[in-house]
Amino acid sequence: MTRVGRLLAEWAPALAILVLGLVGWEVAVNLFGIQKFLLPKPSEIITAFWDERSVLWPAGWYTFTEAFWGFVAGVSCGIVAALVLARFRPLGSALMPYFIAASAIPIIAFAPIANAWFGIEKSSKIFIAALLCFFPVLVNTLRGLRSVRPQQVELMRSYAAGETALFRRVRVPTSLPYLFTSLKVASVLAMIGAIVGEYFGGSQQQLGIQIKNSAALFQFETAWAAILVACILGLAFYMAVSFAELVVIRRYPSAPRQRG
Amino acid sequence: MTAAAVSIRNISKTFGKGGTIALQNIELEFQPGEFISLIGPSGCGKSTLLRVIGDLIEPSEGEAIIGGKKAHQARLDRDYGMVFQEATLMDWRTVEKNVSLPLEMMGWDRGARRERVRELLALVELTGFEDHHPWQLSGGMQQRVAIARALTFKPSLILMDEPFGALDEMTRDRLNLELLRIWEATGATVVFVTHSIAEAVFLSSRVVVMSARPGRVQRIVETDLPYPRTNDTREDPRFFELATEVRELLRESHEAREGQ
């Protein structure tokens, strides 16, 4: 079998499920006469997706850039904070309980307040997305930086290594799988943060506002089409992060049992 | 007069406030080129003593002098190489990169590193495994990589903490022979912590028998078996006599403690 053939064979069951699901959905809506505001037919959603493309995709892109910059800001701050806290252990131990507590706060609840601080345009959404990304990245990366085995520390000390060398040669490579796990979570959270942040107020350019307004105007197929755009962009973001992981982990592989 | 390879001067170590006495008034002196084993029941402080020599643990009293230098200075000067029970290899590094880690830290250039690693892998008979990752090797092979790594900067002292303790007996016997060959080739002083009486007697020029709670030197047994030792040595009547002597010393200390 060719490479393409093998790939097709591997994906065929998943594709079949998708097609079956869509057909079943379409048939069920017709058969039971389900109201459009409850659940539009896939064919209607696809039609709206195509007809409204000139509105939905720019809105999607706009929201994606909010999520992206929120991700960049939140992840950078999370990594830097983790490095500082791992380097200065007493400080880390003092602050860690608060960070763990903070990571359990429903940050999205701050969205209206973020609007008051930064206005209803881009920056308030970036802020919420960044805040959502910050805590999981911080907590996971810190855990990774600290999960070094004691013997590895002793080994490095026997080479007269200082803290900087220990970080560079052992702590950072050890933390990479933990970091990437949190980055994947953060990529999803960033999209959620941006869209839900928009629900609390924004401009017509934003996808969240498109979803909200379409639903309010009973254009449910458009709302669903906008959600589809959000799904596609969110998935693309997640896959981009996964690809980056693949590239980095190829350079810094860990034993197969740890790959999970 | 040349300085002793290792001179242990009245070392005591107590863990915690008024806690267990791991080591009590240890006085030892090892000459350059000796192969010394530290043997004793769990809790006799043999691993602690090894770490005091390597300046990985600070003694509560006394000091260790390595080749005329204080242990701390000797560590900073990278005067010893260390091998642990676990190979403690970095998963993300290949065999070649693992062995060259100490050299990277010393700022050797790539060509010189490669040359030295090639020599060392030949010495531990792992030529051809340069590009393997640790998890692709057996336990015995991993430990040979760790030994090669400990030898990279030609230390005059090698500290080994039960390096073959986790291996099966056949592999252990083979690595014992290999270690003696390496020891003879490098002329280094070896301090070797072990649980195994046979291993201690087979390898060492002197066996330091320790007793537990508190950790003390009970007796030093001179193993007057001629080098180079071979598999036949293990069947030498003198080998059995010495093993019996060590075994009885260990039993004595055990019974003395039980009788208290």
Q: What pLDDT score does A1 carry? A: 58
The verdict on a CB contact (< 8 Å) between A155 and B75 is: no
Residue A258's pLDDT is what? 46
**Mind listing the pLDDT tens digit for each residue in A66-79?**
999 999 999 999 99
Among the partner residues A154, A253, A257, nearest to B92 by beta-carbon distance: A253
Alpha helices in chain B (DSSP H): 46-53, 71-76, 95-105, 110-123, 139-151, 169-186, 197-203, 237-259
pLDDT in tens, A73-132: 999 999 999 999 998 888 888 888 888 888 788 888 888 888 889 888 888 999 999 999
Q: Which residues of chain B have a Cβ shorter than 8 Å from any chain A Cβ?
A: 51, 54, 56, 75-78, 80-82, 84, 86, 88, 90-92, 101-102, 105, 133-135, 159
Q: Dump the DSSP string for A26-60.
A: HHHHHHHT--TTT---HHHHHHHHHHTHHHHHHHH
Closest-CA distance, B78 to chain A, in angstroms, reads 6
Strands across the sheet containing B206-211: B80-83, B157-161, B189-194, B35-39, B206-211, B216-222
State the pLDDT at residue A260. 39
- In this model, does residue A256 exceed pLDDT 80? no
Read off the pLDDT of residues B185-240 as tens digits, 9 standing for 90 and up.
889 999 999 999 999 999 999 999 998 888 889 999 999 898 889 888 999 999 99
Q: What is the DSSP letter of B234?
A: G
Q: Chain B: give the shortest CA distance to residue A3, in Å.
A: 27
Q: Where residue B259 falls among pLDDT bands split at 50, 70, 90?
A: low
Shortest Cα–Cα distance, A153 to chain B (Å):
10
CA-based nearest residue to A206, from A57, A47, A50, A37? A57
What would the pLDDT profile of A131-145 be if each residue is shown by its tens digit? 999 999 999 999 999
What is the nearest CA distance from A155 to chain B, expressed in angstroms? 7
Q: Is the ipTM here above 0.90?
A: no
* pTM attached to this predicted model: 0.82
- Partner residue opposite B101 with nearest CB, options A169, A251, A258: A169
Is residue B158 pLDDT above 50, yes or no?
yes
Residues B76-89 pLDDT 10s: 988 999 999 888 99
Using a CB-CB distance cutoff of 8 angstroms, which residues of chain A are in contact with residue B90? 152, 169-170, 173
DSSP-assigned beta bridge partners for residue B13: B23
Closest B-chain CA to A162: B76
Residues in chain B with CB shorter than 8 Å from the CB of A176 are 92
